[in-house]
Every structure is written in structure tokens, then in C-alpha cells.
């Protein structure tokens, strides 16, 4: 490569970098999904949902059902989506067309909303999200309890033990878990010879009386 072409290449590189930087500077952060904005009319509530994987994106159920494509976008582009030709094809009745126009007007209106209101609502949505997480944890706990109870029943059946033993068995497991903790329970070993040895000791018989 001669000197001249290397200078030209260098200039080209600088120009590209300057353009990339200016794009970066002009890139605004995306708008987060907000119910009062993006689901603020009954029509929007019916067809628009928040993208579960990206809090700044929406899904349009009307477009998804009809086209299976072009149904998601960044929240700040929702108005453009509602004005788009594809979305227009989902408006099969005059009522839907009217509702769509109302939704566009609503989005224009909320764009100039008081910023303090927005902060309040974001806080409220954060609270809702933490409530959802709590509900999920609670449901998981209920599921765990059910699985644990199932394991007890399975143990009774596979060991040919009477069902009447269930309550005592559960109480015994709970008492042991509380008294010794997980680590001790996990590290314990028991086998026939050891059982015979322990049972032979008088102290076991005495201990049993206290249960
Ligand atoms: Zn749509």
C-alpha cells in the first residue's frame, strides 16, 4: 500500500469514528413500559402487553394474531406502530378504527405529562413487580410443601408402613431438622451394625422415654 492510499484510509477511518460517535451521542435511552401510557385506554389494554424480556418493549396482540411478525417494538414507537399500515389492517370495524384513533390521541397527550407523576407511577410499578415476585415465592413454597407431603406418603407406601404413622413420622422429621440442622442430617450414616451397636447401649432406651 502506498503512502497516499494509507492516508486516504486513515481519513476514512476518522470520518467513520466521528459518525459513530455522533450516533451514540444522539441515542436517547428507551422509554420503559408504563400502564397509564401504553395501556391507558381500554383498546390499548386489550391489544398491548409489556414484553416480559424487555421492560422497554411492547407486544401488539392484534398484529401477532394476524401477521405473526412486526408485533413488537420499543415503547416510544407505539404511536408510530398504531399508525402503521400493517396495524391498520387489523382494524376491521369502524369501532376499532375509532378506538385506534383515540389511543393515538391518548399517547400524544401523555407524552407531555408531568414528570413527577411519571416517577410516582414507576415507583408503583416497582412495588407491583416486587409483589409479583413475592407471590411467585409463595406459590413455590406451597408447591414444595405439597412435594414434601407426597414424599412422606410415598415412603409409607414403599416401606409398607401404616398410614397412621404419617403424623408421627412428619413430627419426627421436623423435630430432627430443628434440633440438628441440615448439615448434621446430611452427614449422618446409619446401617444395621451401627443400629445394633447403638441400640445395645442402655442410654438409647432411656432417651426414647423422653420423646
Ligand atoms: Zn399492531
Q: 130 CA to middle of ligand 1, Å?
A: 29
Distance 122 CA to ligand 1 centre (A): 25
Using the mean position of ligand 1's atoms as its centre, give its distance from the Cα of residue 94 in Å: 16
Last residue of one domain, picked from the residues 63, 78, 112: 112
* Residue 168 included in any domain: yes
> Is residue 188 assigned to a domain?
yes
Does residue 135 sit in the same domain as residue 205?
Answer: yes
Overall domain count for the chain: 2
Within this chain, do residues 49 and 78 fall inside the same structural domain, yes or no? yes
Residue 67 near residue 87 (C-beta atoms within 8 A)? no
Cα of 33 vs centre of ligand 1, distance in Å, is: 16
Cα 87 to ligand 1 centroid, rounded to whole Å: 4
Asked whether residue 20 is assigned to any structural domain, the reply reads no
The verdict on pTM exceeding 0.75 is no
Instruction: Please indicate, yes or no, whether residues 135 and 106 belong to a single structural domain of this protein.
Output: no
Q: Flag whether 45 is in a domain.
A: yes
- Whether 8 is covered by a domain: the verdict is no
Q: Ligand 1 centre and the CA of 79: distance in Å?
A: 10
Q: Does residue 72 lie within any of the structural domains?
A: yes
Q: What is the pLDDT of residue 8?
A: 53
| pLDDT tens column, 194-210 | 888 888 876 556 665 55
Looking at the fold, whether 205 and 135 belong to one and the same domain comes out as: yes
The pocket of ion ligand 1, defined by CB under 5 A, consists of 60, 62-63, 87
Ligand 1 center to 4 CA (angstroms): 53
Q: How confident is the model at residue 19 (pLDDT cuts 50, 70, 90)?
A: low
| Same domain, residue pair 106 and 168 | no
3-state SS class at 42 = helix
Residues 41 and 106 in one domain: yes
| DSSP of 50-86 | E-TT-TTEEEEHHHHHHHSSS-EEEGGGHHHHHHSHH
* Judgement on whether residues 82 and 152 belong to the same structural domain of the protein: no
Same domain, 107 and 153: no
Judge if 144 and 205 occupy the same domain: yes
6 in a domain, yes or no? no
Q: Which of 112, 142, 161 is the last residue of a domain?
A: 112
Whole-number Å distance, alpha carbon 85 to ligand 1 midpoint, is: 9
How confident is residue 90, by pLDDT bands cut at 50, 70 and 90? very high
* Domain span at 195: 131-209
Q: In DSSP terms, which residues pair with 50 in a beta bridge?
A: 58
Q: Is residue 82 part of a domain?
A: yes
Among the candidates 46, 81, 112, a domain finishes at 112
pLDDT, tens only, 62-88: 999 999 899 999 999 999 999 999 999
Calculate the alpha carbon distances from 36 to 33, 52, 197, 200 in Å: 9, 18, 72, 74
Q: How close is the Cα of 73 to the center of ligand 1, in Å? A: 10
Whether residues 157 and 196 share a domain: the answer is yes
One domain, residues 105 and 140: no
Residues 146 and 183 in one domain: yes
Amino acid at each position: 500500500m502506498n503512502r497516499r492510499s494509507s492516508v486516504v484510509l486513515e481519513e476514512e477511518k476518522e470520518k467513520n469514528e466521528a459518525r459513530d460517535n455522533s450516533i451514540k451521542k444522539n441515542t436517547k435511552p428507551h422509554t420503559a413500559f408504563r400502564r397509564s401510557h401504553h395501556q391507558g385506554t381500554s383498546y390499548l389494554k386489550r391489544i398491548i402487553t409489556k414484553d416480559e424480556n424487555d421492560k422497554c418493549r411492547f407486544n401488539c396482540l392484534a398484529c401477532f394474531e394476524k401477521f405473526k411478525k412486526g408485533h413488537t417494538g420499543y415503547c416510544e414507537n407505539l404511536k408510530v406502530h398504531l399508525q402503521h399500515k400493517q396495524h391498520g389492517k387489523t382494524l376491521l370495524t369502524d369501532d376499532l378504527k375509532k378506538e385506534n384513533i383515540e389511543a393515538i390521541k391518548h399517547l400524544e397527550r401523555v407524552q407531555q405529562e408531568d414528570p413527577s407523576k411519571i416517577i410516582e407511577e414507576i415507583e408503583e410499578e416497582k412495588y407491583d413487580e416486587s409483589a409479583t415476585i413475592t407471590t411467585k415465592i409463595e406459590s413455590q413454597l406451597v408447591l414444595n410443601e405439597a412435594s414434601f407431603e407426597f414424599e412422606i406418603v410415598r415412603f409409607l407406601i414403599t416401606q409398607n408402613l401404616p398410614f397412621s404413622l404419617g403424623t408421627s413420622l412428619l413430627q419426627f422429621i421436623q423435630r430432627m431438622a430443628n434440633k440438628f440442622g441440615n448439615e448434621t442430617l446430611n452427614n449422618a450414616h446409619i446401617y444395621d451394625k451401627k443400629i445394633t451397636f447403638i441400640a445395645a447401649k442402655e442410654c438409647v432406651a432411656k432417651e426414647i422415654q423422653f420423646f
